Amino acid sequence: MTDAPNFGPGTDAVPNRPKTSLIAEDARTKGRNAAEKRFRFYGMAAIAVGLFFLVVLAVSIVRSGIPAFTQTVVNVEFTMTEADIETAEGMLFKTKMYAQFLNTALTDQMNAKGLEVDVDEKAIQRILGKTGGIIREFYKGNPDQMGEPVAFELSASSRVDGYFKGRVTREGFVDSRFLKLSDLDLVDSLAQAGVIQQAFNWNFITGADTGVDNPGGAGIGASLVGSFFMMLVVLVLSLPIGVAASIYLEEFAPKNRFTDIIEVNISNLAAVPSIVFGILGLAVFIQFVHLPQSAPLVGGLVLTLMTLPTIIISTRASLKAVPPSIRDAALGVGASKMQAVFHHVLPLAAPGILTGTIIGLAQALGETAPLLLIGMVGFVARGYPQGFIEGFTDPNSAMPAQIYTWAARADVGFYEKAWGGIIVLLLFLLTMNIIAIILRRRFERRW
């Protein structure tokens, strides 16, 4: 070809070409402009679809989850004498006796109040949730309160709670041993008397998991602590190991077949299903190293294995993105290779490294599958760890595992709790992301 532009068939026919104008569009220009318009429309449609689903998701989560943050409570003031407590403590099933004392006291109080409906102890028992444990706990901590009237705020049973939240309606109500239709009349008059009311459920945020017959007492606090300790293990292990590995691979390692194999394998590891890491964790950490079962330490170790490839890949990418001129300049003024990397390259790559780390942590935070195998799913998050070290070793669950457990329980009250748990999990994630953004802003440097 010559240097002259080729105008299509018959190059010398240039003067004969139809006249084109920059103002009037010809067919081809129109076509190209239309294509671009269509493309813009597709792009906007894609974003709109994404936004639509995001809104649907957010609305359904909030709508289903908000009720978990309120709880129907029964306000009772009653007195237990030393003799009462001695009777209860003499039993095998002590908390049941405590609950019975409360039921009797409440029944008498309500009868004395002269409500329009009959109050019997069986009905009160159906209306109240599980109360014995809370009362026993209180008197164990405050033995000086014996014989004095004490005010308790106790959760109502799951069905009464559902009645206040619209889950249980009089229409189509079927009497069962859990609740009878006549109990609802009693509940209504108790609500009028101000004995039963809805209150903000702090216990949901701070509490621990409960047995399946006690949805009113269940909280996500203990498993939140479990998740926190797991994330601590993941952060403390995967960040230094991941960053060290990628700095070496990127800046120091010779490029040969061996490092190529390592590189390919790291990329492959990032795509391994998480359950595989669970099996590995069970075999290595629990059965071989004999670390405790159901412990956040083991959970953290397993999730570290899962997070490492993500961190290594993103760290290497951000190291690559640092212009070579920076390295050359550092080396040029006499810095050693290590000085060049640690004083100049690494600080510039820090924002990218942080982003990768947070993405890795967020992935790990939402992971349930590997936890199934190392014993963190079930009735596990049943209390807070004793101290900081025990936080790593005491059996505990994690938030996604807790949500999964609740969603599988028969009582609808737990289903609501599962949605509420999702809100708490999302807030936890959001906090992590915000911290990452703030840190990134502080480190960000332009050249």
Partner 1 sequence: MTFTKLTVSVLAVAALSATSVAARDQVQVAGSSTVLPYASIVAEAFGENTDFPTPVVESGGSSAGLKRFCQGVGTEHTDVANASRKIREKEIKACAENGVTDIIEVRIGYDGIVFASQINGPAYTAFTQADIFNALAPKVMVNGELVDNPHTEWSDFNADLPSADILAFIPGTKHGTREVFEEKVIAVGCEETGAMAAMIAGGMSEDDAEDACLEVRTDGRSVDIDGDYTETLASIDANTNGIGVFGLAFYENNTDALKVATMAGVSPSTETIATGEYPVSRPLFFYVKKAHIGVIPGLKEYVQFFVADELAGPDGPLAQYGLVSDPELNETQAAVDAENAM
Buried b (16+ CB within 10 A) or exposed e, 104-119: ebbbeebeeeebeeeb
Nearest distance in Å: CB 425, partner 1: 19
Those residues with Cβ within 8 angstroms of residue 280's Cβ, 6 or more apart along the chain or in another chain: 302, 305
Q: Would you give the DSSP letter of residue 157?
A: P
Q: Rule CB under 8 A: say whether 188 interacts with partner 1.
A: no
178: contact with partner 1 by CB under 8 A: yes
Query: How many residues sit in the footprint of partner 1 (CB under 8 A)?
Result: 58
In the chain the first and final C-alpha atoms are separated, in Å, by 42
Q: Does 292 bind partner 1 (CB under 8 A)?
A: yes
User: Do 208 and 219 meet the contact criterion of CB atoms below 8 Å apart?
Assistant: yes
Which window, 1-9, 12-20, 173-181, 255-263, contacts partner 1 (CB under 8 A)? Answer: 173-181
Among 34, 35, 55, 91, binds partner 1 (CB under 8 A): 91
- In the list 34, 44, 59, 389, the residue contacting partner 1 (rule: CB under 8 A) is 389
Q: Which is nearer to partner 1, 195 or 345 (CB)?
A: 345
Signed CA dihedral, 271, 406, 302, 243: sign only = positive
Contact between residue 218 and residue 129 where contact means Cβ atoms under 8 Å apart: no
Q: Give the residue, chosen from 84, 161, 183, 411, that forms a contact with partner 1 under the rule CB under 8 A.
A: 411
Kindly tell me the sign of the dihedral angle through the C-alpha atoms of 132, 133, 136, 139: negative
> At a CB cut-off of 8 Å and minimum separation 6, what does 48 contact?
none
**Size of the chain in residues:** 447
Q: Which stretch binds partner 1 (CB under 8 A): 10-18, 100-108, 251-259, 282-290?
A: 282-290
- Give alpha helix (H) positions in 130-220: 132-141, 158-165, 181-192, 202-206
Q: Which amino acid is at 106?
A: L
Q: What value does the CA radius of gyration of the chain take, rounded to a whole number of Å?
A: 32
**With binding defined as CB under 8 A, does residue 275 bind partner 1?**
no
Q: Which of residues 194-233 bind partner 1 (CB under 8 A)?
A: 210-214, 233
Q: Which span (28-36, 78-86, 360-368, 380-388) binds partner 1, by CB under 8 A?
A: 380-388
Interface residue with partner 1, options 109, 198, 206, 293 (CB under 8 A): 293
Shortest Å, Cβ 251 to partner 1: 15
Per residue, the 3-state secondary structure of 29-62, as one string, reads HHHHHHHHHHHHHHHHHHHHHHHHHHHHHHHHHH
Residues numbered 93-112 forming contacts with partner 1, rule: CB under 8 A? 93-96
The Cα 149–Cα 116 span in angstroms is 26
Q: Min. distance of Cβ 159 from partner 1 in angstroms?
A: 9
Min dist CB 312 to partner 1, Å, is 16
Q: Is there binding between residue 284 and partner 1 (CB under 8 A)?
A: no
- In the list 405, 420, 421, 424, the residue contacting partner 1 (rule: CB under 8 A) is 405
Binder among 180, 327, 344, 409 for partner 1 (CB under 8 A): 409
Chain positions contacting partner 1, by CB under 8 A: 91-96, 132-133, 136-137, 168, 172-174, 176-178, 210-214, 233, 236-237, 239-240, 244, 286-287, 290-295, 297, 372, 375, 377-380, 382-383, 389-390, 392-393, 395, 405, 407-412, 415
